[in-house]
Structures are given as structure tokens and as C-alpha cells.
Amino acid sequence: MQPIKQLANALASLADSDRYLFTLSDLKCVLPEHSQGAFKALLSRSVKTGLLLRICYGLYLYQPAAQDTGSILFHAAAKLRAHCFNYLSLETVLSDAGIISQIPINWITLMSSCRSQTINCNEFGHIEFIHTKKKPGDIAESLVYDPRCRLWRASVNLAIRDMRATGRNTDLMEPTDEPV
């Protein structure tokens, strides 16, 4: 069987509406017998034929299984930094709560125990990770798990504190009655 057909069959059996994003190491596990060069060529062919869509460096979307395209950026953030402590905060949380009048389009902001980085996810938008030294235990009461996004989400108060701590522009914030 041709390698691209092997990959297609493996992805069809592994992927579902919850698991449609794959890292390079995930994909390499499907075809471990291929050399690095052959594997790269296979990925390139898979993208050209439409089997996979490259989200960003090292992350691919198996298109037949992706259903909720509105959550791809959130799911990509969770997959890319699965080894770090991350939570949605800053403009993303404040916009969702109506505290910021402008809605960031195709841009999500997270606080992360890993380094700060903005990742271009092509037509899906950008993921901005901002480094924090906060420990999960110290802010646990201000976090809630968001199953749709597959990420922790800061409370409005924590998001406002994060905005101030990171020196972000707070001019667009509406006054809130909640103590910060």
C-alpha cells in the first residue's frame, strides 16, 4: 500500500470530532518505518492533496474529522502547549465578558508558564502566549475549565489583573463593578 494511503487509513481510524489535530510526532508514530526525508515528503504530499491542512509549524488538521472550525485556534493552543500551564485571559476573556468593546477576530490570548510567543495559524488567525510565573495553585479559585475550548479560563478579575501586570492597553476596557 502507498504511504499516503496508509496515512489516510490510519487517520480515518484514529480521528474523530474531538481528535482532528495532529503534531509531527503523532503523525510519525503512524508510519515509523519511514526515514525523516520520506516522512517530510509524505507530509508535503498530504497537504497538497488536501488530506491534511498545515495549521502552523508542527501541527496539522485532518480535515474530514474537523467539525467545529470556530474552536480550532483554542484546540490548537491546547495541543501546542499541552506540557505547559496555560489559561485563556487578557483580551480574549474580557471581550467574551463584554468588558472590552472590540472583539478580537481570529486572535486569542493566553497566559502560559512557557515562554511568550505569537503563533501564526494561517487562515485561522493567531495564538498569543504571554509568559506568567503564576502557579496553578495560587490562582485556582479564579480559573474555570472551558470544555469547548479545552483550556482553563480566567475570571474577569484575573484577566484584568493580568492586563495590568503585563502592561497591556486598558483604554478599551469598560468600567466594571467587580473589585479587582
C-alpha cell at 43: 507530509
Closest CA to 76 of 12, 158, 6, 19: 19
CB atoms within 10 A of CB 153: 21
pLDDT tens, position by position, 1-20? 788 899 999 999 998 888 89
Q: Enter the pTM of the model.
A: 0.88
Give the strand pairing for 21-23 and 52-56: unpaired
Range 3-67: architecture per CATH: Orthogonal Bundle (1.10)
Spans of all domains in the chain: 3-67, 72-165
Is 64 a residue whose pLDDT tops 60? yes
- 80 pLDDT band, cuts 50/70/90, is very high
Q: Grid coordinates in use for 145?
A: 475549565
Length of the chain: 180
Nearest to 66 by CA among 53, 57, 77: 53
